[in-house]
Chains A and B, each alone.
Chain A
Amino acid sequence: MNAQRLQPAFVDPVLDAQRGFRGALKALAEPGLIQSLPAAPSLEGLAPATYALCLALLDMDTPLWLAPCFDTPLIRANLAFHCGCPLTTNREEAAFALLGEQDLLDLSGFDHGNDRYPDQSCTLLVQLTDLEAGRALNWRGPGIKTQRQVNLPVPQAFWLERQRRETFPRGLDVLFAAGHHLIGLPRSTRIAQEHA
């Protein structure tokens, strides 16, 4: 029975959701800078930061695409109960997508928005095991004064996949989460390929 798997979510639904939203906002405003969400609840299979982003951002108007590794009865039941978001198997319909590291190699199908409404693109929530264990890359662009060194542990193929899909103003915004921390990668950020 689904109900047996329900877990409590935010302790303070209003303030904690606002903190989650604020964290996402700051992460995208200052790409590459690590934001922390100390008071996030945890759920088996979801890191606290990932779950906090889901609870803060998802509601009945935002269809969610779940990667197979997150598609468990527990996660389904709790997202349905606390967020009320519809789940979709169709990438084109999704307003948000929850991905694991292994899903980063194929970003096909997600909505990039259109030239008139680039904001309608799909936002990717990516759960990693760590945010600082990867190869150093230099990020540039809005929100970064000159350049910022970021060590995201994501496969090289992801950067190529992302570059292939960038047609500004259309594109994909990504929030990387691990543990209680998150990093934002908006579509406007440019990645320098040389080693830092």
Chain B
Amino acid sequence: MNLSPRQHWIGVLARAFRSELLPHEDALRDVDYQLIRAPEIGMTLVRGRMGGNGAPFNLGEMSVTRCVVRLADGRTGYSYLAGRDKVHAELAALADAHLQGAHPSPWLSDLIGSLANAQAERRAQKEADTAATKVEFFTLVRGEN
């Protein structure tokens, strides 16, 4: 799947832990901004497809939090994330707005880079843990013929 850079960083910000964003809070909030849509909690219906390509079915509902901010220079940052963490949603929206600047490089390398690395590590760790529990089933050939 091809992701635009913005899709990538919005995904990284949504998956990050709140504790990973809090150290950047002062820098993120250090601008004039207003809340276009204050952080709000809602529900969204998760749909799935059996095997990834079957008929869609409703899996269930999950809580999401969303937020939209606008910086004084007109950049608008959006965030949608799983869960009910309004502070996280506001920080993620602010980060999205900052990243859209003409020179987003400091934020991209400092924030998104480290968050993405941490997430990749967590994922690898989990996959390794899961792989260790893998059981290979096999059947002995029964001598029936």
CB distance from A14 to the nearest CB of B (A): 9
- Can you name the residue of chain B whose Cβ is closest to the Cβ of A11? B38
Asked whether, in the complex, the Cβ of A6 is within 8 Å of the Cβ of B40, the reply is no
A1 CB contacts on chain B under 8 angstroms:
74
CA distance A1 to B35 in the complex (A): 18
Contact with A along B35-71 (1 / 0, CB 8 A): 1111010000000000000000000000000001010
CA distance A4 to B71 in the complex (A): 9
CA distance A8 to B68 in the complex (A): 10
Residue A3 CB within 8 A of the other chain: yes
Chain B contact-residue range equals 10 to 19
Residue A7 CB within 8 A of the other chain: yes
Asked whether, in the complex, the Cβ of B40 is within 8 Å of the Cβ of A13, the reply is yes
B37 CB contacts on chain A under 8 angstroms:
8-9, 81-82
List residues of A (1-44) whose CB comes within 8 Å of B's CBs. 1, 3-4, 6-9, 13
Asked whether, in the complex, the Cβ of A3 is within 8 Å of the Cβ of B70, the reply is yes
CB distance from B77 to the nearest CB of A (A): 9
Asked whether, in the complex, the Cβ of B40 is within 8 Å of the Cβ of A8, the reply is no
B70 CB contacts on chain A under 8 angstroms:
3-4, 6
Asked whether, in the complex, the Cβ of A7 is within 8 Å of the Cβ of B36, the reply is yes
A-B contact count (CB 8 A): 24
Asked whether, in the complex, the Cβ of B76 is within 8 Å of the Cβ of A8, the reply is no
A3 CB contacts on chain B under 8 angstroms:
70, 74, 76
Asked whether, in the complex, the Cβ of A6 is within 8 Å of the Cβ of B35, the reply is no
Residue B105 CB within 8 A of the other chain: no
A9 CB contacts on chain B under 8 angstroms:
37
CA distance A69 to B38 in the complex (A): 30
B76 CB contacts on chain A under 8 angstroms:
3-4, 6
B68 CB contacts on chain A under 8 angstroms:
6, 81
CB distance from A43 to the nearest CB of B (A): 12
A4 CB contacts on chain B under 8 angstroms:
70, 74, 76
CA distance A13 to B42 in the complex (A): 13
Residue B125 CB within 8 A of the other chain: no
- Can you name the residue of chain A whose Cβ is closest to the Cβ of B77? A3
Contact with A along B59-93 (1 / 0, CB 8 A): 00000000010100010100000000000000000
List residues of B (16-47) whose CB comes within 8 Å of A's CBs. 34-38, 40
CA distance A81 to B34 in the complex (A): 16
CA distance A105 to B70 in the complex (A): 40
CB distance from B106 to the nearest CB of A (A): 23
List 7 tightest A-B contacts by C-beta distance, closest first: A3-B76, A4-B74, A6-B36, A8-B36, A8-B34, A8-B35, A6-B70
For this complex, 21 residue pairs linking A to B, each with C-beta atoms less than 8 Å apart, are A1-B74, A3-B70, A3-B74, A3-B76, A4-B70, A4-B76, A6-B36, A6-B68, A6-B70, A6-B76, A7-B36, A8-B34, A8-B35, A8-B37, A8-B38, A9-B37, A13-B38, A13-B40, A81-B37, A81-B68, A82-B37
Interface residues of A (CB under 8 A from B): 1, 3-4, 6-9, 13, 81-82
Interface residues of B (CB under 8 A from A): 34-38, 40, 68, 70, 74, 76
Given A4-B76, A8-B38, 5 other A-B residues pairs in contact with their CB atoms under 8 A: A6-B68, A6-B76, A8-B35, A8-B36, A82-B37
